[in-house]
Amino acid sequence: MAGLYSVRFAMGFNAIQDYTVPPGKRAIVKCVTAYNGNASGRAVGVHIGVVPVFDQLIGPTQGVTIPNLHIVVNSGETLRLVLSASMSGQVSGYLLNEVSA
């Protein structure tokens, strides 16, 4: 299918990672992967701007992959991956060309 790209939107360690969807595109988040290196449980979050749309608690020294998501992020909006200290993770999915109605 033309205009469909599989991409990693954000990847990081110990930080907030932002990805702004380019003009004329739409992002579809399909998978979140994270590892918690802490001795206690921590959460990984995905936000659109400052609005949380997904959070997952991860146990101490455990990893998790959450597939089959369908989070739509429109052109110009910011996708944010929120990681606590000693956590790593990534957000991936599809980047589509917007089609005029």
Structure confidence at residue 3 (pLDDT): 66
Q: How many Å apart are CA 24 and CA 29, to the nearest integer? A: 17
Q: Is the pLDDT of residue 2 over 60?
A: no
Q: Is the pLDDT of residue 24 over 90?
A: yes
Q: Span 87-93, mean pLDDT?
A: 95
If one counts the domains in the chain, the total is 1
**pLDDT tens, 35-63?**
999 999 999 999 999 999 989 999 999 99
Tell me the torsion sign for CA atoms 26, 30, 34, 40.
positive
Q: How many Å apart are CA 97 and CA 22, to the nearest integer? A: 10
Q: What is the CATH number of the domain that holds 38?
A: 2.60.120.340
- Domain residues for 27? 4-97
Q: Span 78-93, mean pLDDT?
A: 94
